[in-house]
């Protein structure tokens, strides 16, 4: 008979052998492919690879950081949350304003920036990583809101030169001849026009002042356009909410806010005359039409205010994703390029519900080309 001691030893040995066997077998299981491309990826060629599998970073990047404009924040919030569900990648976006986003991109503390305004030459020079691509994501319209007792939304018609003169404080009363000529049926009282603008710098101001600069030489000479300008008058409000509040409270006030904000808060807006003479309400369709023009430059650094398109709403602008053309890190380059691709293609479906105009036609093609222009070591990232 085998002694107890020997039985125990035998059991111990068998146990040890068994554990070793199990561990060895588990280590031999096939490794998950990390760098081999997913089978649904289309071969490198002129065909458009827009399958979902391509949207996710292929080089192990799990987190991206971006900073910039507040205007697209609701949309980016939605997009990045969907992206997280889709790819398990967390995109951390800080809506600190276009100026802040540009500054962070210049210093390369973020992977991408976002801005409602085109970078100035001075800002481009201060960008440490070289040339910056302006990739448009969506377009947004701005509403001209006003407060006149008894006048409802869309009942007031406004032309570019009258709007510029109001903001230049050359037209100071609502019953001025120029305004009554445009609005024959409307009861315009003998009230002072209280002009409200943004007190904080913002892309909304950039687009609005850019429009006024295009339609009024005097505005262009006296004031110019930027995220923050020297206003001829009167009152500044903090953010869209500040402007809307001031306009709502002061009888005879006029101001400008993002169309999405105006429509969600039931504000009274005016109809603007566009370049061909049509009077239009601010709308998604008007914004999309403004973006859909043949004369868009390849670098998309254009402010589409006063657009040539006959159905365009005149006060519209793009919001851009700012990305360095020549990326420094291969993994990050892959992640940023795929994110930008997804944002300009599959993620566009989230735009309309949040009242942003998605890219269409020429604008969409040019955006695509810009994303394809993101390079690493001189080679395009997305082939």
Nearer to other proteins, 108 or 349 (CB): 108
Q: Nearest distance from residue 122's CB to other proteins, in Å? A: 6
Residue 301, class by beta-carbon neighbours within 10 Å (0-12 exposed, 13-18 middle, 19+ buried)? middle
Contacts for 328 with CB less than 8 Å, ≥ 6 apart: 129
Piece of 245-253, 302-310, 325-333, 362-370 that binds other proteins (CB under 8 A): 245-253
Number of residues that bind other proteins (CB under 8 A): 39
> From the list 86, 250, 293, 364, which residue makes contact with other proteins (rule: CB under 8 A)?
250
Binding mask 332-371 for other proteins (x = CB under 8 A): ----------------------------------------
Piece of 45-53, 153-161, 244-252, 337-345 that binds other proteins (CB under 8 A): 244-252
- The verdict on 72 binding other proteins (CB under 8 A) reads no
Instruction: Determine contact, residues 290/314, Cβ cutoff 8 Å.
Output: yes
- Paired tokens of 320: 């851009």
Which one, of 142, 135, 140, 113, lies nearest residue 126 by Cα?
A: 113
Q: Nearest distance from residue 228's CB to other proteins, in Å? A: 5
> From the list 210, 246, 263, 268, which residue makes contact with other proteins (rule: CB under 8 A)?
246
Q: What is the DSSP string of 262-330?
A: HHHTT--B-EEE-TTS-EE---HHHHHHHH--TT--TT-----TT-SSTT--SSEEEEEEEEESEES-H
- Paired tokens of 60: 């192990």
CA–CA separation, 89 and 82 (whole Å): 10
Q: Nearest distance from residue 167's CB to other proteins, in Å? A: 14
> From the list 65, 77, 228, 311, which residue makes contact with other proteins (rule: CB under 8 A)?
228
Instruction: Determine contact, residues 162/273, Cβ cutoff 8 Å.
Output: no
Piece of 7-15, 25-33, 224-232, 321-329 that binds other proteins (CB under 8 A): 224-232
According to DSSP, residue 116 is labeled: S
- The verdict on 252 binding other proteins (CB under 8 A) reads yes
Nearer to other proteins, 274 or 305 (CB): 305
Nearer to other proteins, 103 or 315 (CB): 103
- The verdict on 224 binding other proteins (CB under 8 A) reads yes
Nearer to other proteins, 67 or 315 (CB): 67
Piece of 232-240, 293-301, 309-317, 328-336 that binds other proteins (CB under 8 A): 232-240
> From the list 245, 283, 299, 311, which residue makes contact with other proteins (rule: CB under 8 A)?
245
Q: State the angle between helix axes of 203-215 and 160-167 in degrees (0 to 180), rounded to the nearest 10.
A: 120
Going from the C-alpha of 71 to that of each of 116, 142, 258, the distances in angstroms are 7, 11, 8
Cα–chain center distance at 215: 25
The tokens 């944002």 sit on which residue? Answer: 343
Binding mask 167-206 for other proteins (x = CB under 8 A): -------------------------x-x----xxxx----
Bridge partners (DSSP) of residue 132 are 324
In the complex, which residues of this chain contact other proteins (CB under 8 A)?
Answer: 96-100, 102-103, 120, 122-123, 126, 192, 194, 199-202, 223-231, 233-238, 242, 245-246, 249-252
């Amino acid at each position: 008979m085998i002694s107890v001691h020997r039985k125990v030893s035998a059991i111990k040995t068998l146990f040890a052998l068994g554990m070793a066997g199990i561990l060895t077998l588990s280590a031999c299981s096939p490794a998950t492919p990390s760098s081999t491309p997913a089978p649904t990826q289309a071969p490198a060629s002129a065909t458009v690879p827009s399958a979902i599998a391509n949207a996710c970073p292929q080089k192990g990047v799990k987190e991206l950081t971006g900073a910039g404009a507040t205007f697209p924040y609701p949309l980016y919030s939605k997009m990045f949350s969907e992206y997280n569900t889709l790819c398990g990648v967390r995109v951390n976006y800080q809506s600190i304003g276009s100026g802040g986003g540009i500054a962070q991109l210049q210093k390369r503390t973020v992977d991408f920036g976002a801005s409602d305004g085109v970078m100035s030459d001075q800002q481009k020079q201060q960008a440490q990583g070289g040339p910056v691509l302006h990739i448009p994501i969506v377009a947004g319209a701005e509403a001209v809101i006003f407060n006149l007792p008894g006048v409802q939304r869309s009942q007031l018609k406004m032309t570019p030169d009258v709007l510029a003169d109001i903001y230049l404080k050359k037209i100071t009363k609502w019953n001025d001849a120029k305004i009554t000529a445009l609005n024959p049926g409307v009861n315009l009282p003998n009230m002072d026009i209280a002009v409200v603008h943004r007190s904080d710098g913002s892309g909304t101001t950039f687009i609005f002042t850019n429009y006024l600069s295009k339609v009024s030489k005097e505005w262009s000479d006296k004031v110019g356009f930027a995220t923050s300008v020297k206003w001829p008058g009167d009152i500044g409000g903090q953010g869209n909410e500040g402007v809307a509040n001031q306009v709502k409270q002061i009888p005879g006030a006029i101001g400008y806010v993002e169309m999405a904000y105006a429509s969600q808060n039931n504000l009274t807006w005016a109809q603007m005359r566009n370049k061909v003479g049509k009077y239009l309400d601010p709308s998604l369709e008007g914004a999309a039409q403004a973006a859909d023009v043949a004369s868009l430059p390849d670098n998309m650094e254009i402010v589409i205010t006063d657009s040539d398109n006959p159905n365009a709403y005149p006060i519209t602008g793009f919001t851009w994703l700012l990305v360095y053309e020549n990326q420094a890190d291969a993994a990050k380059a892959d992640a940023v390029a795929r994110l930008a691709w997804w944002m300009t293609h599959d993620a566009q479906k989230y735009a309309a519900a949040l009242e942003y105009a998605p890219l269409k036609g020429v604008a969409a093609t040019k955006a695509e080309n810009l994303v394809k222009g993101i390079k690493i070591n001189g080679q395009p990232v997305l082939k």
